[in-house]
């Protein structure tokens, strides 16, 4: 907190005078958090089902994160890439163990950056063509934006890095038709988060693996939103049989609130980046990596994969059982859920939820997204279910974010 702290309206005004307006006016200034609860500048509490957009894996102020970060910053801060430190080594070893495969990890600071590294790894195959999906989201830097399949976000910035073909998501035939012997990589989200929690048909990832294997293209899975326990397995693809990607990109909840991204490569993809070919000053930062280790240890130690499955099912079944006329169905996996509405009322629902003390998000006009911390409690899920009929009945307006 700054000595300058004021109410919601004052903070919003100061924000307008000091920060770029690239996100549009924010919904609410938040000043404190504990677990799944956050407080605004006027002391009002909210149960946070946005979770920093699937980022606060353990909620706010989890003792394991506080302790790991405090100890690390008190002993060794940043070392640069000219030296090595233990935390990134330990985190890479731990990630590879969770993947159950040999590989190599490149650490960075965000999802976009993790995908940039994957893009460059693809170029080092000697091929340039990339296949990505319509509606897909991979980040806002120029390379990641070229992979993203959302023209409204891309158009003002063309020309973007080229030779990218976008195909309809979930359509294995379209994918097979687009991938050639010249294709360097195919990048796919196991579930399209930003596009509204879109789940592909069963067998899609397996088909993508077979198609890429047949032509020698790398299969890159963007698990920035789905990875690290979000969907009830360590990585979303692990729920699908017969899918072994060449590259997996991670960020968001890997750092448990600290900026931490990772590009994890296996097999020949792990050998492509050579000395001097890529880097980022903060990549492998010991403090961020210490937080990452605390996240993984806590997910394991507190049985959070089970919790994700249990709370996710409870929410899904509970929301569908409401039988509310505005609810079509609920899609997603684990604690990445999209409530698909029967009309374009997601912004109104988001606003009504906020007024009722729950933060949710509207990635599409007819989809309300839930992505709370992985340690969401029974009573917190229950409180949302209880409040939801009133929230769905109410109206208002709001905005989306990523």
State yes or no: is 222 an active-site residue: yes
CB of 189 to ligand PMP, least distance (A): 5
Q: Measured between alpha carbons, how far is 46 from 40 in angstroms, rounded to an integer?
A: 8
User: Which neighbouring-strand residues pair with 104?
Assistant: 265
CB of 205 to ligand PMP, least distance (A): 14
232 and 312 in contact (C-beta within 8 Å)?
A: yes
CB of 177 to ligand PMP, least distance (A): 24
CB of 53 to ligand PMP, least distance (A): 6
- Rounded to a whole number of angstroms, the distance between the first and last alpha carbons of the chain is 25
Q: Which residue is at the shortest CB distance from ligand PMP?
A: 111
CB-count exposure of residue 32 (10 Å: 0-12, 13-18, 19+): middle
- In a 13 Å sphere around the CA of 255, the CA atoms on its Cβ side amount to 25
State yes or no: is 67 an active-site residue: no
Q: With CB under 6 A as the rule, give the number of residues binding ligand PMP.
A: 16
Query: Which of 116, 222, 348, 380 touches ligand PMP by CB under 6 A?
Result: 222
Work out whether strand 45-48 and strand 37-40 pair parallel, antiparallel, or are unpaired.
antiparallel
Which residues 229-288 are close enough to bind ligand PMP by CB under 6 A? Answer: 251
Residue 265 or 388 with smaller CB distance to ligand PMP:
265
DSSP state of 78: -
Q: Is 223 annotated as a binding residue?
A: yes
Query: Which of 36, 56, 110, 212 touches ligand PMP by CB under 6 A?
Result: 110
Query: Which of 47, 183, 195, 225 touches ligand PMP by CB under 6 A?
Result: 225
Contact region with ligand PMP (CB under 6 A), list: 133-141, 161-169, 231-239, 365-373 = 133-141
Q: SS3 of 192, please? A: strand
Q: How many Cβ atoms are within 10 Å of 344's Cβ, its own excluded? A: 12
Please tell me which residue in 49, 107, 119, 137 is annotated as part of the active site: 137
CB of 249 to ligand PMP, least distance (A): 7
Segment holding 176, helix H or strand E: helix 172-178
Count, in order, helices (H) and strands (E) of the chain.
13, 15
Query: Which of 33, 59, 87, 139 touches ligand PMP by CB under 6 A?
Result: 139
* 137 counts as binding ligand PMP under rule CB under 6 A: yes
* 53 counts as binding ligand PMP under rule CB under 6 A: yes
- H helix intervals, 182-270: 204-215
Q: Which residues are catalytic?
A: 137, 222, 252
Annotated binding site for pyridoxal 5'-phosphate: 111-112, 137, 222-225, 281
């Amino acid at each position: 907190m700054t000595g300058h702290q004021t109410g919601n309206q004052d903070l919003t005004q100061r924000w307008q005078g000091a920060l770029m307006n690239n996100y549009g006016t924010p919904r609410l200034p938040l000043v404190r958090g504990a677990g799944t609860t956050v407080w605004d500048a006027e002391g009002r509490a909210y149960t946070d089902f946005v979770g920093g957009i699937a980022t606060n894996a353990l909620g706010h102020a989890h003792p394991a994160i506080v302790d790991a970060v405090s100890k690390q910053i008190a002993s060794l801060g940043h070392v640069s890439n000219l030296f090595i430190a233990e935390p990134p080594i330990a985190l890479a070893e731990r990630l590879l163990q969770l993947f159950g495969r040999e590989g190599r990890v490149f650490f960075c600071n965000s999802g976009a950056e993790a995908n940039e590294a994957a893009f460059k790894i693809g170029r080092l195959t000697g091929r340039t063509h990339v296949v990505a999906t319509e509606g897909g989201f991979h980040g806002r830097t120029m390379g990641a934006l070229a992979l993203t399949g959302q023209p409204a976000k891309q158009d003002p910035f063309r020309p973007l890095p080229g030779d990218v073909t976008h195909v309809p998501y979930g359509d294995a035939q379209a994918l097979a038709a687009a991938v050639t012997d010249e294709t360097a990589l195919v990048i796919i989200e196991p579930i399209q988060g930003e596009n509204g929690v879109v789940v592909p048909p069963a067998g899609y990832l397996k088909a993508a693996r077979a198609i890429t294997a047949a032509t020698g293209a790398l299969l890159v899975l963007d698990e920035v939103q789905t990875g690290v326990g979000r969907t009830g397995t360590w990585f979303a693809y692990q729920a699908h049989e017969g899918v072994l990607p060449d590259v997996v990109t991670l960020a968001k909840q890997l750092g448990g609130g600290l900026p931490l991204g990772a590009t994890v490569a296996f097999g020949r993809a792990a050998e492509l980046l050579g000395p001097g070919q890529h880097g980022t000053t903060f990549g492998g930062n010991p403090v961020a990596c210490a937080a990452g280790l605390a996240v993984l240890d806590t997910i394991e130690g507190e049985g959070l994969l089970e919790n994700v499955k249990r709370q996710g099912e409870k929410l899904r079944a509970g929301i569908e059982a409401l039988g509310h006329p505005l609810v079509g169905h609920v899609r997603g996996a684990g604690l990445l859920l999209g409530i698909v509405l029967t009309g374009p009322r997601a912004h109104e629902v988001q606003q009504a939820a906020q007024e009722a003390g729950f933060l949710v998000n509207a990635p599409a006009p007819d989809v309300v997204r839930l992505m709370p911390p992985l340690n969401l409690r029974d009573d917190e899920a229950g409180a949302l279910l209880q409040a939801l009929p009133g929230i769905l009945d109410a109206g208002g307006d709001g905005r989306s974010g990523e």
